[in-house]
């Protein structure tokens, strides 16, 4: 089972977040690093899939719709993680690392996962 590799979309591309992920050994790239700023959400999801990376975004509406289209048309994607913009970088990190400890890259295929499901234990 492979560890999840991330593709951070334009909406959620915070350099402090990316640096924090890398400091914890997460393989991550972003729209900014591969310079695909003007690409559509559909193109970003296709690129993430081509690169074998799980897409990480704040864009709930568009990516929920794209996920549904992929499932209806029996197309494959490598997974989508949707986070809330309301989460601090630290909270995003903790929730994301919890998700990554629970799921492999293979288990993320064709999955749409909300980071809200990975709350910290109290």
Is 57 within 8 Å of 9 (Cβ atoms)? yes
3-state secondary structure of 67: helix
Domain extents for the chain?
6-117
Task: Work out the pLDDT band at 23, boundaries 50, 70, 90.
Answer: very high
Give the pLDDT confidence of 27-83 residue by residue, as tens digits: 999 988 887 767 889 999 999 999 999 999 999 999 999 999 999 999 999 999 999
Element (H, E) at 112: strand 112-114
Global pTM reads: 0.93
Mean of the pLDDT values across residues 84-90? Answer: 91
């Amino acid at each position: 089972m492979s560890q999840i590799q991330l593709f951070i979309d334009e909406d959620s591309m915070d350099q402090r977040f990316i640096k924090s992920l890398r400091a914890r050994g997460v393989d991550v790239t972003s729209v900014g690093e591969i310079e695909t700023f003007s690409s559509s959400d559909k193109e970003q999801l296709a690129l993430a899939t081509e690169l074998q990376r799980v897409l990480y975004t704040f864009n709930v509406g568009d990516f929920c719709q794209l996920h549904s289209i992929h499932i209806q048309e029996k197309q494959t994607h490598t997974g989508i993680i949707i986070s809330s913009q309301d989460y601090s970088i630290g909270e995003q990190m903790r929730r994301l690392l919890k998700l990554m400890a629970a799921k492999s890259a293979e288990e993320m295929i064709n999955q749409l996962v909300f980071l809200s499901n990975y709350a910290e234990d109290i």
